Amino acid sequence: MEVAGLDALLISHAPNIRYLTGFSGSAGMLLVQGGEATLVVDARYETQAPEETAGAARVALAPRTLWEGMGLIVSAARPNVLGYEADRVTVRAAERIAKLGAPLVEPTEGHVESLRASKDEDEVEAIRRAADLALDALRATLATVGPGQTELQVASRLEAALRDRGSEWHPFQTIVASGPRAALPHARAGERAIEPGDLLLIDFGATVDGYCSDLTRTLVVGRAPDQRQRAVYEAVHAAQRAAIAGVRAGISGKDADAIARRSLESAGFGKAFGHSLGHGLGLEVHEDPRLAPTAEGVLPPGAVVTIEPGVYFEGWGGVRLEDDVFLSNDGPLLVSPGAPALEEVS
């Protein structure tokens, strides 16, 4: 904030508020000024907010609305330059911020996200627990999967298994895509019935202490894999292993992406890898840093990133493998155990 010339920063993005204060509610605004923080909440969080923040911020109860409450705080604080999270607010919210009473209002971005990119030991452990929980739920679900079931039925059982094991919620809408629909990287689970010999792509995760895991596994259902399925899977598996071994803090997201891309190109599947290699993981399932052909930014030490190469062919299907990796000062460390060889479930 000092470098940016800000006297105060208004934070409205819920994950950023949770990161700085511990408050997990859905409605709140935080003003940071002079090494102090004031969290404005409404009556729903009168008890919860002080308990969760535990002194990390002063809690102020809004008289009627959060905006009215924050207006009172800004008027009392009298900052000359008030920054706000321009990439996180609506046009209407920006108009309201401009009327809070600060002489100068400055749009900013990334102040808190840059801190969140590097995880401490407790954060990494929460992501590890979320990954372990998610894979345990998947193992239990796959024991019940077979031809004739719909993608929605599989997704429903998996999501129930995640909740049963303690996932606070699903970090994103679970993807279950079978047969030719596995060629859709972000397919929604649908009514399609799984057929013998289908590829089954499952992208899923869990949330523990607010932190997300993000994993993808691809399997064959009801029949041994055929030659093409094995060839594509082995190429993706090799690309993933190469990227996990080669990714490092200090290299660019572009260079990390290139590790897997070169591997798939050498196997003849480069053109079928149409998305980026991965992304940061934490309180949000997609956060900094990015691992993509256009990502010039350097991967910071302490980041947890996904490594998720994929190969897709319209009308046939696709294979994606995804694991979570911690970029320690000593090199990459798997947070999830790594994808196995191609499996068949009956």
For residue 124, give the H/E element and its range: helix 121-142
Whether pLDDT at 182 is above 90: yes
Whether pLDDT at 251 is above 90: yes
The string of pLDDT tens digits covering residues 41-63 is 999 999 999 999 999 999 999 99
130 close to 212: Cβ distance less than 8 angstroms: yes
Residue 222: what pLDDT? 96
Distances (CA, A) of 162 to 25, 136, 155, 165, 174: 22, 8, 10, 5, 11
Where exactly are the structural domains of the chain?
Answer: 8-116, 121-345
Share in percent of the chain as helix, strand, coil (round to 5): 35, 25, 40
Separation between Cα atoms, residue 141 and residue 31, nearest integer Å: 44
Separation between Cα atoms, residue 324 and residue 318, nearest integer Å: 20
134 close to 204: Cβ distance less than 8 angstroms: yes
242 close to 332: Cβ distance less than 8 angstroms: no
Out of 3.50.50.60, 3.90.230.10, 3.30.70.580, 3.30.465.10, which CATH number does the structure's domain 121-345 have? Answer: 3.90.230.10
The string of pLDDT tens digits covering residues 254-300 is 999 999 999 999 999 999 999 999 999 999 999 999 999 999 999 99
Residue 117: what pLDDT? 97
CATH topology of domain 8-116: Creatine Amidinohydrolase; Chain A, domain 1 (3.40.350)
The string of pLDDT tens digits covering residues 298-329 is 999 999 999 999 999 999 999 999 999 999 99
Closest to 284 in 3D by CA, of 162, 119, 141, 164: 119
- Provide the CA 91 distance to its chain's centre, in angstroms: 25
Kindly report the pTM of this predicted structure.
0.95
Separation between Cα atoms, residue 62 and residue 43, nearest integer Å: 7
Distances (CA, A) of 307 to 73, 213, 238, 271, 324: 43, 12, 12, 18, 6
Residue 35: what pLDDT? 86
Using alpha carbons only, give the angle 42, 44, 50 rounded to the nearest 5 degrees: 80
Question: Average pLDDT over the chain, rounded to whole?
Answer: 97
